[in-house]
Amino acid sequence: MNQKFKVTGMGCSACVAAVEKAVKATDGVTNVSVSLIENAMTVDFDENATDNQCIINAVKGAGYGAEVDTGIIAKEKSKDKSVLVTRFLPSLILLLPLVYLNMAGMMGWPYPEKIHAYIQFVLSLGILIINRTYFDKGIKSLIHKAPGMDALISIGAGVSFIYSTYLLIIRSNGPFFFESAGMIFTLITLGKALEAGSKAHTMDAIKALSELMPERVTVIRDNEERTIGFEALQKGDIVLVRTGEGIPVDGTAVKGNASIDKSALTGESIPEEAYVGDKVVSGSVVLDGYLLIEAEKTGTETTLYGIIDMVKNAAAKKTPIERLADRISGYFVPVVVGISLLTLIIWLAVGKDFNFALNMAISVIVISCPCALGLATPTAVMAGTGNAARHGILIRSAECLETARNVDTVVLDKTGTVTEGELNVTDIVTDSSTDEKKMLLMAAVLEAGSNHPYAKAIRSKALDMFEPSDIVAHFAKEVISIQGKGICGKIEEKDFFCGNEKLLKENDISVEPLKKEAETLQSAGKTVLFFSGAGMLGLFAIADVVKGDSKEAISVMKEAGLDVILLTGDHKTTAESIGREIGIDNVISEVLPEDKHNKIDALMNEGRHVAMVGDGINDAAALVKADIGIAVGNGTRIAIDSADFILMRNSVKDVAYVFSLSKRVIRIIKQNLFWAFIYNALGIPIAAGALYNAFGITLTPMIAAACMSISSLFVVTNALRLRK
């Protein structure tokens, strides 16, 4: 069973490691993935060996909170920032007089000399009580042998307070470290508040999507309008959506018409018109008009929920880089504690007093919190996936985002990927005696009852020039569809034929006047249908036309150094014609669906890193086989389920953006990890007093706490650049 949980109380990668370690130790658990940025956990487990409550108890035993994620879409809110600010403000109020009393003697300021130490004790104790959550989590993490940030700062503040209290009891005079204990917790809490606010920005895509889901919806039941909660919607309900409201279900419009905005789902800013019989999806917004929609998918089955879930999953799954950072964090805290003790011992050994040595040891602990290390990757991944979602690109996992940067070969399916996926009449050619518009009208009448794709293309072209009433004013009878040749029938008692050259020749109709034009169109990969009747002679050229932005997209990919290949089951002539039109030289044609997988395999065996882009069932195996699978948004469900990236805008132009974004995300992750490691590599020796003998430079615990908070804030802010 796969179950999602919400986890509270995590602050760094060591916290993540502690939760994962505790849950993995639970019988029956096979896999655990914890997201720091989202405060969530996904667990695979054997239902016969354990259950949700056992897993929740394991998390609580590690010092954190957990509850089952119900899966119901709710407004995404961040409570962390308000809670932290609530703790920070009273801490600051107590800290200011505490700092004043500590500095008053040195600065010559007036202060109650006899009782100032006791006042410092009370003020410091108040700050520690307000922020006691650090002790709660820190002690539990030490008990479970998985210490994290809370353990480090608890040790630093706790030792400062206990040692100062000891001095107060035995001799009533300083120097005391009460202000260090208070300052550590106050600055850490401020840093966490700022960090929480910055982290919240990385969730903007999910928040924006969740805001599209109304809390209350209007349904028609028993011929009456009723307002119900979103969670009470059922399949088959008739939902009324008015101007300005979001569509809460996936379904079919049964009444009304409206202009709808799908930009939050696809990134496409141009509104679409929806009429009776049209499919509509959740997350769209009615801009004008109204719709009555028969609900076909509700709640967790809707398109909107699927998108939100996919964005969340991308953040929950870890990249190889992040897994490496987690392993390092597992050893980080014990090593830091060891360095702190060693610092204390060395300074005592060289003759420094205990106060100085303790100050250095505490500074080492405080400056070394692994927050920046833990936030380096997940903040970048979430910001990147949020950026992609705003551009209509869904990412299935963080790992595929990392893999995409290595792609050097892009294999494109033709139909529905670089082309529209629907046949269209591209050319109409007639002899000198035939009226083009009249020929098109008669052809549409002749093809009126056919479901053949060629017939649909002719009817669609006719509707661009004529009103439906113009077409139904005529009637074809004795219509015969001839397999592999075309169609014939009578209109107003006159014979008409539409089909290939063979059909016309069999009925003693010469196509020689248009033979040259037909051959030219066929060489361009188009299908030619001849039309004759009532003195008319002409032809229709039919093809699956190239999408407007395909050529530009391929040009961008080639400029980026990618080798682009067109892979299709179409005839060689058609495939090569499309290839020339869009600028692809390497065209592999006449490939059976089952052979697409083998072609991808062969390319990968050459040492290439391959991305496959497709939209059909016949692309599914190739999408899975490739290093990266990319499905266009109007593709089949099986293709979308097989892909790593889904292009909701149905534009191959977004393929280039996928690779560009991947490189940006990995670059930001590397920058974050570099600065996180450099910060500790430089900060720990300085805090330990490496510059003291040469330059007299030391770091107080107060400065160390400020540096730690700044490092975490830097990492998060750097990741937020990906939102642009």
The DSSP line for 268-289 is: --S-EEE-TT-EE-TT-EEEEE
Asked if residue 154 lies in contact with residue 139, where contact means CB atoms within 8 angstroms, the answer is yes
DSSP 3-state assignment of 364? helix
Report the DSSP pairing between strands 586-588 and 563-567. Answer: parallel
Taking CB atoms within 8 Å and a gap of at least 24, the contacts of 42-50 are 42/2, 42/3, 42/4, 42/5, 42/313, 42/316, 43/2, 43/3, 43/4, 43/5, 44/1, 44/2, 45/1, 45/3, 46/1, 47/1, 50/26
Using one digit for the tens of pLDDT, what is the confidence trace for 263-287?
A: 666 555 557 788 999 999 888 889 8
Task: From residue 175, give the alpha-carbon distance in Å to each of 352, 660, 703.
Answer: 15, 57, 18
The C-alpha R_g of the chain, in whole angstroms, comes to 34
Q: Right CATH number for 393-419+547-655 from 3.30.70.20, 3.40.50.1000, 3.40.50.2000, 3.40.50.720? A: 3.40.50.1000
Same fold, 393-419+547-655 and 423-546: no
Domain 423-546 belongs in CATH node 3.40.1110.10 = yes
Q: Whose CA is closest to 299, among 217, 243, 370?
A: 217
The amino acid at 701: P
∠ CA(182), CA(336), CA(706), 5° rounding? 35
**Separation of alpha carbons 58 and 508, rounded Å:** 85
Domain positions in the chain are: 2-68, 80-202+318-381+670-723, 209-306, 393-419+547-655, 423-546
Q: What is the CATH number of domain 2-68?
A: 3.30.70.100
- Size of the chain in residues: 724
The strand order across the sheet containing 586-588 reads 393-395, 645-647, 628-632, 610-614, 409-413, 563-567, 586-588
pLDDT in the model for residue 78:
46
* Residue 111 neighbours by CB under 8 Å, 6+ apart: 100, 101, 104, 105
| Helical spans, DSSP H, in 25-147 | 52-61, 80-107, 116-130, 133-143
Q: What are phi and psi of 287, to 5 degrees?
A: -85, -35
pLDDT in the model for residue 498:
94
**Separation of alpha carbons 663 and 505, rounded Å:** 59
Q: Whose CA is closest to 655, among 540, 511, 558, 521?
A: 558
DSSP 3-state assignment of 195? helix
Q: How many CB atoms lie within 10 A of CB 314?
A: 25
pLDDT in the model for residue 227:
93
Encoded tokens for 712: 């975490």
β-strand partners of 394: 646
**Separation of alpha carbons 514 and 507, rounded Å:** 17
| Helical spans, DSSP H, in 350-476 | 354-367, 371-390, 398-403, 436-446, 453-465, 468-472
Report the DSSP pairing between strands 29-35 and 536-546. Answer: unpaired
Residues of the chain with pLDDT under 50: 73-79, 636
pLDDT in the model for residue 77:
45
**Separation of alpha carbons 268 and 266, rounded Å:** 5
State the helix-helix crossing angle for 701-719 and 371-390, rounded to 10 degrees.
Answer: 20
pLDDT in the model for residue 329:
61
Kind and range of the H or E run holding 661? helix 653-688
Q: How far is CA 163 from the centre of its chain?
A: 49
CA-based torsion, 45, 50, 56, 57: positive or negative: negative
Identify whether 250 is a catalytic site residue: no
- Classified by CATH at the fold level, domain 209-306 comes out as 2.70.150
pLDDT in the model for residue 226:
93
Encoded tokens for 356: 């100085």
Q: How many CB atoms lie within 10 A of CB 445?
A: 23
**Separation of alpha carbons 531 and 273, rounded Å:** 34
Q: Which residue in 261, 413, 570, 654 is the catalytic one? A: 413
* Residue 545 neighbours by CB under 8 Å, 6+ apart: 419, 420, 424, 426
**Separation of alpha carbons 374 and 368, rounded Å:** 12
What's the pTM? 0.62
Q: How far is CA 491 from the centre of its chain?
A: 56
The amino acid at 215: E
**Separation of alpha carbons 581 and 544, rounded Å:** 13
Kind and range of the H or E run holding 429? strand 419-430
Q: CB-hemisphere CA count at 13 Å for 651? A: 17
**Separation of alpha carbons 582 and 419, rounded Å:** 10
Peptide bond into 175 cis (omega under 30): yes
To which residue do tokens 């006042």 refer? 119
**Separation of alpha carbons 96 and 120, rounded Å:** 11
**Separation of alpha carbons 473 and 58, rounded Å:** 75
